[in-house]
Structure 1
Amino acid sequence: MKDREILGILLEFGFHEIKKYIHSGFAAKLSEKFDIVWLAIDKGSPQFDSYFRDTGYPLIYFHAKDFRQSDSKIEARNQAIRRNWMISKNLGAFHNYSKVKSKSYRSYIIGSDLLKKIYERKAIRQTRELYLSNQLEEVLREYRVEHLLATGYASVFAKSSFVTADKLSIKTWYLVNSWKDLYINNFLPFDFLNGIFVWSEQMKRDYLYHMPYLDKNKIHVSGNPTFDVLKGSEPAHSRSHYAKKYGIPERADWILYTMMPPGLINDEIETVKFVANDLLQHYTPQEKVIIVRKNPNHSTDEFANMTLPLNTVIAEHYCTFDRDNDMIIQSPEGEQEWIDLLHHCAISLSVPSTVTLEFLTLNKPVINIGFGPDGKPDPRVNQHFEAGFYKPILSHQLVKKVENISNLTKCIISLNEIRNNTEEKPANEKLGSDVILSHLLR
């Protein structure tokens, strides 16, 4: 009987990878055909350690100090050129925590097609030379790794892992971690990957436009395996369970408000209160309730002593955030409550985010707000709507953009009408994990 092949998986992001591999069942699906070796930078998180060791597969730690500490001059220039190239072409460059620069003459000069082509080639060649790692080579050899899968490409750890694996003739695979990735850093510094897994045909076209050196035949549309757990799912706990837990009417329409990471906007809770008070002018707390889910980057006690409108509650916070090591961990109970609330809530209300995709996976409506605590358009939020990854989704019938508080109630009414006439998606929808597994096994 042939031994099972060994799949090495890079772990860099904590919260997102626990969702992607553990909570979604993706790791369990991969383990049906492969033995796994987890490879991670040690950030000193016992919860993270437990999640991945509990799979029964080895977790090998590395230390950040053992790798190159900064980008080369060529890499830095390449990034500057690419950022300006995106700006000059109105491609929706994005950053979570700061405002993206406006277009200028400098953007056109520095971001020219010619400079972009020259420096991306230089950076690709240099990446192969700079990031080989003897330490990684020893581990990959020791564990007889035959495939390497990662969801990041910009970090020193990811670059070192990919180029070292390629040197050893290990098959290398990249799975898009976030739809924001391309618009934050649109440079995959490898031209040797065996496969790239993207979420949609549009994403495939976007990756090829930004990086024409990629082989279109090696880019596969898999969807996002993180969402597999939602397809055909049912809530673990009833509405009555959460109605009792949070002291809210069971028969009310529950509106799920998901907060942004603190950074670009730090007064978002005031926007929440403003929205809640506006709703109270049209609906009683027995009709509409806002459940606020804090961002994983928030602290447990944030807003704990704040007086909120009668129609607003803040959900339990199941996340711990280690700011020094940039590590977020959510408990299994927190992940289950999140899935349950996706099912039980009638509408998502938030600034544009991945939550939109999770609601749409369940065929549920989304309202994206573009105003601040004064109810007027907020320029700080606008770049979220203008981001290249988000623009196309605004044409979906279940997604509405509201830039002024005066339009919110009308939008809720129209979405309720659409929701009542929308059928649920079939439970047999293709799973991202199945698509990825089929390519790994070829």
Structure 2
Amino acid sequence: MKKLGVVITDGVGFRNYVMSDFLKEASKQFDSVIVYSGLPKSAYKSIENSNIIIKELTVFNEPKLTWFFRKWKEVAHLKKYQNFFGMKASLALGYPSNNSLRSLLIKFIYAITSIFNTSKSILFIEKLQFLSFSTHKVTKEYVKILKEDIPTHLFFTHQRPPYLAPFLYVALKLKIPTTTFIFSWDNLASKGRMLGSFNHFMVWSNLMKEELLYFYPNVKPNDVKVVGTPQFEPYVLDRYTMNENDFFSKFKLDTSKKILCYSCADVSIGKNDPIVISVIAKAIRNKSINEQVQLIVRTSPAEDESRFKEVKNEFPEIIWNVPKWILTRENHIERWSQRIPLEEDIRDLRALLTYSAISINMCSTMSLDFMLFNKPVINTVFGTKNNGLYDDQKFLNYDHYKKVIESGAVVIAKNEYELISAINNELTAPEKRKQQREKLIALQISKELKGTSKRIAENLAL
């Protein structure tokens, strides 16, 4: 029997692999599919396929020694590649500002990894990390599960969550072949070490394959498959469509006005969101924008809209799209990870992409979402180190986003004047950057959206 184990860690993984066609396609390629879930079993009540089994994994909380070695491994990786701006920025962000015991340990790690950060030393530290939890009760539980199930292949839908390291360790010990999917376009050039050494990898694009081979020189090219990403597959699935009349009616939009969509980051990096939203709303009020437009704001799925209370009170004319993601579990070390989307939210988002005239965001993946619908994109970066705002201009130097800027596919707005000017220009000539957008999409997503799940399932079955 061919039996696939699929490890889904969080709500975004749920969206990408449960709400796409992946499980349906995997069921065609394998005799049975077991979902090993970091979400509660109740989240999967919509799944009716008889050969799909859901098993909820006990959450692994890192012992202190495990944390120490894992942190060492991640920082060593960042140190090794600190010539990349994103890696350097992650190092700066993670350096402690106080002298607590934990902070002193981190400072020690920073010091020692300045000397020891070779691939060989990183792999040695990873062995110590895995050894530190090898007899943990949760690890023993994972051994029991995988010995009972004996999957012929394990697919990790995310390469980074540290609390999955014991599950990978057990799989490797039992010689179960493992594949992971590189979760996001910024993960390789700005994040610390992935959770362990997988047998095989799947990536969005040829570009991402090159990055993976560069940052992980022990990986063999033949073990990396370019498959596209299921993140965008719902945009070509009929069940997530909404017609224009229903969309305008649902959000009480004016059919005579074009739609400007501002999509927020989460509060950790989107601190300037309220400022930018206010600038756009004021420009609409004082008619600085040359056409009749209306503003709809989509907040981050990782949070509610409470931080925008003042903006909502000042500009009641703004339309709000608060993502319909429900919390499935309260007591979790990463509470945000336990939020999953409703089908309604995916339909809302697809409609927003379809019917908006312009996308405005702070260097977000949403830039790609809108480009897939051939919509102009403006990236707002109002903050610097010196002007009192959150320094979001630093993201222009991140390797993954430098490629976006260099492509000419987006307009960068560093202040109010540049933003309003960009809005007027893009409304006047929305097709001006069409070729650049298409080239960037081809660079970042090397495969067609249609058939993404089938492509992934077929590659796993090889």
What TM-score range do you get, normalising by the shorter chain?
A: 0.7 to 0.9
Instruction: Give the total of aligned pairs.
Output: 428
State the 1:176 CA deviation.
1.3
Report how far residue 399 of structure 1 moved.
1.4
Which residue number corresponds to residue 32 of structure 1? 28
State the Cα deviation string for residues 220-258 of structure 1 (Å, max 9, x = none): 221111212224769632232232233321132211111
Aligned to 1:171: 177
SS of residue in 1 equivalent to 2:188: helix
Per the alignment, residue 61 of structure 1 pairs with 56
What's 1:404 paired with?
415
Residue 11 of structure 1: how far off its partner (Å): 1.7
2:397 aligned partner, one-letter code: E
Q: Which residue of 2 aligns with 1:200?
A: 205
Q: Counterpart in 2 of 1:116?
A: 118
Q: CA deviation at 1:267?
A: 5.4
Aligned residue for 2:392, secondary structure, equals helix
The verdict on how the C-alpha distance between 1:436 and 1:420 changes in structure 2, with shifts beyond 3 A counting, is same
- Residues 1:179 and 1:207: Cα distance change in structure 2 (over 3 Å): same
Secondary structure, counterpart of 1:9 in structure 2: strand
What is the identity, as a one-letter code, of the residue corresponding to 1:415?
A: E
Between Structure 1 and Structure 2, the one with more helix by share is: 2
Alignment of 1:116-195 (within 5 A): 116-132=118-134, 133-191=139-197, 193-195=198-200
Q: Per the alignment, do residues 400 and 286 of structure 1 end up closer, same or farther by CA in structure 2, a change over 3 Å counting? A: closer
Contact 1:225 1:433 in 2 (8 A): yes
Deviations 1:46-104 (A, max 9, x none): 4x2435x5454221122225775652544332322223334344355556xx94679xx
| Separation of aligned partners in 2, 1:296 and 1:221 | 28
DSSP 3-state at the match of 2:253: coil
Q: 2-side partners of 1:383 and 1:295: how far apart? A: 20
Q: How does 1:29-428 map to 2 (within 5 A)?
A: 29-34=25-30, 35-41=32-38, 46=42, 48-51=43-46, 53-56=47-50, 57-65=52-60, 71=66, 73-93=68-88, 99=93, 115-132=117-134, 133-191=139-197, 193-231=198-236, 236-266=241-271, 268-282=273-287, 287-299=292-304, 303=308, 306-309=312-315, 312-321=318-327, 324-325=331-332, 326=335, 327-371=338-382, 378-416=389-427, 419-420=430-431, 422=434
Q: Deviations over 1:14-68 (max 9, x none)?
A: 2x01210122222222222122111123x5584x2435x5454221122225775
Counterpart contact for 1:268–1:372, Cα < 8 Å: no
- Of structures 1 and 2, the one scoring higher in RCO (CA 8 A, sep 6+) is 2
1:243-294: CA deviation from partner (whole Å, max 9, x where unpaired):
2233321132211111111234445223311222124334579711111111
**Could you report, residue by residue, the CA deviation over 1:390-415 in whole angstroms, capped at 9, with x for unpaired residues?**
22112233312111111123322443
Give the counterpart letter for 2:117 in structure 1: L
**Whole-angstrom distance in 1 between the partners of 2:195 and 2:326:** 32
RMSD, matched Cα: 3.5
1:9 aligns with 2:11: no
Match of 1:437 in 2: 457
Q: Which consecutive unaligned segments of at least 5 residues does structure 1 have?
A: none
Is the contact made by 1:299 and 1:320 (CA closer than 8 Å) also made in structure 2?
no
Give the gaps of 5 or more residues in structure 2. Answer: 97-107
Structure 2: distance between partners of 1:248 and 1:344? 11
Percent identity of paired positions between Structure 1 and Structure 2: 18
Corresponding residue SS for 2:360:
strand
1:84 and 1:110 in contact (8 A); partners too: no
2:76–2:116 contact (8 Å) kept in structure 1: no
Give 3-state SS (helix, strand or coil) of 2:85's partner: coil
| Residue range with higher mean Cα deviation, 358-367 or 430-439 | 430-439
C-alpha distance in structure 2 between counterparts of 1:358 and 1:240, whole Å: 22
- Aligned in 2, Cα 1:234/1:433: closer, same or farther, shift over 3 Å? closer
